[in-house]
Structure 1
């Protein structure tokens, strides 16, 4: 059979191409026209698979959230559940930081995100947290993860010691941060997560039974 003159499209192929553009050029770099050109088709061809750009972005976010691990809320204690969730959530977002501003808007109707939220909330309530606290813990963990995934604290410093000499005496070693960025950022995330969990454990112990 002769090969089709127009490339065959699928939701998976469109989503993968869109994420490639976002990873490379950021959210502003994605348009349906540009996406279509990269796929070798006309923009109207995309709309038979995704009615709007936002629908496409929702699907991209849903794919990313599908990799987040909340299984320990079923098979372990609530602190292990949060730790596993937070680490895998951060890893998923850190792999695609340019999508974070759109994803941060909330789960909307994304199935994977709602499944994560349902597992987290259910696991916390079963562990003895009142529903209101379970909701706030879920939100607080999200804040911690989004902040860690959206950028690097350490890479924000110049590696030229002269920038800090004399004027900023308390930052005399700041020029070394970028060199050790991965180690510092990972350690900082774990420190924040440990402190968060220790504080929550104390709060749970103080709740009226």
Structure 2
């Protein structure tokens, strides 16, 4: 038999094409018709792999979640360092695919990679001694912070017109320069916020659990803290 002129469809091929479209043109470009054209197939053939557009979008989002490094949670020595490394990897994945950040702001749903991420973060915190209820809230807090930092560039939102700020905004005399340095400003803002957030969590940890020490040696302390919190799950 002759080889097909167009490679056979697969879920991976469809998701890769869909993510490429979303990256290049935004989620509004991700229609069944447009995707079929990109893949040189008929629209109905896509439904053999994804029943609905929402199913496809879930797979696209979960592919991005699969880019987030979770290795720091395998045997963490320090919950703070693990959270910091994870937050940076998470932000890097979102920065590579900014157009899907609004969808990622939702919970993990049934997405396997997103669920693995949630499980790893929650497990690290509970193993470190955090009460289960607080571990749930911290996991949510970290997601809010990282996804919020990836939604848009604050620095890029300023005009390059110096005259716009000269008269009416006396403290923004150099605001017209911000957009030229958006990379360093956005990165610096993220790192400042991450450090401040973790500093605050470490203070709370000291009040709730005790002095920080390696996560793998806190089993009994975690059990006691969980009982005092009521052990509300993730």
TM-score, normalisation: structure 1 = 0.96
Contact 2:156–2:179 (CA under 8 A) maintained in structure 1: yes
Aligned residue runs from structure 1 range 91-170, under 5 A? 91-170=92-171
Structure 2 stretches lacking a partner, 5+ long: 210-224, 226-234
- Separation of aligned partners in 2, 1:199 and 1:150: 23
Q: How many residues align?
A: 209
Look up the SS of the partner of 1:171 in the other structure: coil
- Separation of aligned partners in 2, 1:7 and 1:128: 51
Shift of 1:106: 1.3
Cross-structure match for 1:43: 43
- Separation of aligned partners in 1, 2:129 and 2:53: 41
Shift of 1:6: 5.0
CA offsets 1:7-33 (integer angstroms, 9 cap, x no match): 421111111110111112211111111
- Runs of 4+, deviation exceeding 3 Å: none
Shift of 1:70: 2.4
Shift of 1:103: 1.9
- Separation of aligned partners in 1, 2:7 and 2:72: 42
Cross-structure match for 1:190: 191
CA offsets 1:95-134 (integer angstroms, 9 cap, x no match): 1111111122111111111011001001001111101110
- CA RMSD of the aligned region, Å? 1.3
Shift of 1:75: 2.7
Cross-structure match for 1:62: 62
Contact 1:7–1:41 (CA under 8 A) maintained in structure 2: no
Contact 2:104–2:147 (CA under 8 A) maintained in structure 1: no
- Separation of aligned partners in 2, 1:179 and 1:158: 10
TM-score, normalisation: structure 2 = 0.86
Contact 1:7–1:40 (CA under 8 A) maintained in structure 2: no
- Separation of aligned partners in 2, 1:5 and 1:91: 37
- Separation of aligned partners in 1, 2:23 and 2:98: 7
Contact 1:18–1:30 (CA under 8 A) maintained in structure 2: yes
Shift of 1:4: 2.0
Look up the SS of the partner of 1:164 in the other structure: helix
Structure 1 stretches lacking a partner, 5+ long: none
